[in-house]
Amino acid sequence: MHIPDGFIAPQVYLPAYVINLGLFFYALKVFRRWLRERTISYLASLSAFAFVLTSIALPLPGGTSVHGLGVGPMAILFGPWVAFACLSVVFFLQAFFFGLGGVSSFPINALSIAFLGSFSAYGVYRLFGRGRVALFLSGFLSTLLSALFIALILGLHSYLFREHGRPVYFPLGFEVVIPALLLPHLFVGVGEGLLNLLMVGFLRRRLSLEG
């Protein structure tokens, strides 16, 4: 799901950097108020898990690829702002030091997965009653919403940024990019839903035992 360099116009990624930085600094304030010593190891472990999960890209026919997100457990257990702060650091390290995703597209990747993914995972979980069904839907729907956001951003480029009638940046329209991203991420969403079911209950029990 990481967008490489060259697909996002400066007119999009520069404002996205400003938005992402503003949200990140606010998230740090929430993070500092909320953080407790006993939870540091769990946050570090979940961040490392998300780093590994989002680094493993499975190639698909047509030149795209998919990877897991690992957003749900962190957002549900520690809140969406904390998850956004941790995952933003993960995507920053991936883009600037490991070449996973582009430097210019970093804010779009962070906003789609770290921000929208975290808040939608948390919101869906609360909306559907916080039970096992809610856990599954949280992982499933947050994955699809993140993929849809990226598809919309990419698809818009083929219409908004053209020279001599040809796209300058991303060349494919909505009719191609939306199904190309959403269909494979249906399977990723199922995996994310199952991941929530496996991890959230276990970690919640561990946290309560140490409380």
Domain map (residue ranges) of the chain? 10-210
Range 30-56 burial, b when 16+ CB lie within 10 A, else e? ebeeeeeeebeebbeebbebbbebbee
Alpha-carbon 79 to chain mean position: 14
Q: Is the dihedral of CA 41, 42, 45, 51 positive or negative?
A: negative
Are the CB atoms for 4 and 106 separated by under 8 Å? no
pLDDT at 1: 62
Tell me whether residue 175 is exposed, middle or buried, using C-beta atoms within 10 angstroms of its C-beta: 0 to 12, 13 to 18, 19 or more: exposed
In the Cβ-directed half-sphere of 21, how many Cα atoms lie within 13 Å? 6
Are the CB atoms for 154 and 175 separated by under 8 Å? no
* Backbone angles phi and psi of 63, in degrees to 5: 90, 10
Q: Dig out the tokens for 190 from the structure.
A: 């199922």
Cα separation, 40 vs 50, in Å, equals 15
Q: Does domain 10-210 have CATH number 1.10.1760.20?
A: yes
* Backbone angles phi and psi of 71, in degrees to 5: -80, -40
| pLDDT tens, residue order, the chain (211 aa) | 678 888 999 999 999 999 999 999 999 998 887 777 777 888 899 999 999 998 887 776 655 677 888 899 999 999 999 999 999 999 999 999 988 888 999 999 999 999 999 999 999 999 999 899 999 999 999 999 999 999 999 999 999 999 888 999 999 999 999 998 999 999 999 999 999 999 998 888 877 645 4
